[in-house]
Amino acid sequence: MLNFPEARLLQVNGIELAVHEAGQGGIPLVLCHGWPELAFSWRHQVPALVQAGYHVIAPDQRGYGRSSKPAAVEAYDIHHLTGDHVALLDLLGIDKAIYVGHDWGAIIVWQHALLHPERVLGIANLSVPFFPREPADPLDFWEKMLGPEFYIVHFNRQPGVAAAAFDRNPEQFLRNMYRTKQWLSPAATGGEPNGQTIIKLADMVLDQGELLMSEAELAVFVAAFRAGGFMAPSNWYRNFSRNWATTADVEQIVRQPALMIYGEHDMVPKADMSAYVADLEVHTLPCGHWIQQEQPKATNGLLLDWLERRMRPLV
């Protein structure tokens, strides 16, 4: 499983991205990882996609792995994050690509489809559905409803505190995060029970569930975050208000064909996207948040079936 394509460092959008590629010459397909992950999170999908004839492009997105980590918080807003993908396609000579995202990667893919629709052929997202722009700043709502210790609120109101805790013990933090049975409550409860929050995960030992990967695979993530830290990745969350303020004029309609895969026990709630994503296919797998790592064969099956039915005829 550690036989993952080597990355090459590419200059795009004023930064350097570590980009893993395989299957050159096939249909272009970009894999967008979430927080706190790496392109390596797609290790189970890359061989299957390449075998099916796709040119797989999996970057460590800005702030992660060997990619650049700008100091400015606003360097991680949605315009920079999606702009990296525009510039990457330009550099590779690709007009448009299929995008697959998980967690924060799904947020980027949804927004990329809105901001740069001419570059997105189709969308397959895991965990995080499309949420239209709220009428008010969502950070204030989350603070009121979920409290100051809710991790997104905490990242914004106490910047750097959680990242420093994760940096002190990245192995324990990631070992607690990457588990087959979510330590967080099911999506239906909409919260983090018993005083447990993500920001405390570096300071506790969890016995719920099991590590969803091998020790060798965990070591890949630990080494990357030990070297690069958690501050830059956490800055993605510190742009929710900025993203909200700068997208007021963006039409909230996704026009590309879309596949959505949920985890049954994921803390992220499902959503009715029918008013915003017209061409949508939805599936749910019996797993938690780390869908493509916990259910790789089932994920690959759903993804490849949809790609062959819906995407290949469009190429």
Active site residues: 103, 289
Residue 309: partners with Cβ closer than 8 Å, 6 or more residues away = none
CB crowding 211-231: b at 16 or more within 10 Å, else e: bbbeeebbebbbebbeebbbb
Q: Is 91 exposed, middle or buried (0-12, 13-18, 19+ CB in 10 A)?
A: middle
CB 179 within 8 A of CB 209: yes
- Provide the residue type at 101 as one letter: G
Strands 120-126 and 15-22: unpaired
Strands 258-263 and 15-22: unpaired
Alpha helix (H) residue ranges in 180-290: 215-228, 231-235, 240-245
In degrees to the nearest 10, what's the CA dihedral of 189, 191, 178, 76?
130
Strands 120-126 and 97-102: parallel
Q: Which two tokens stand for residue 183?
A: 């330590």
Strands 15-22 and 7-12: antiparallel
Strands 54-60 and 27-32: parallel
Q: Which two tokens stand for residue 143?
A: 């603070």
Residue 142: partners with Cβ closer than 8 Å, 6 or more residues away = 150, 152, 153
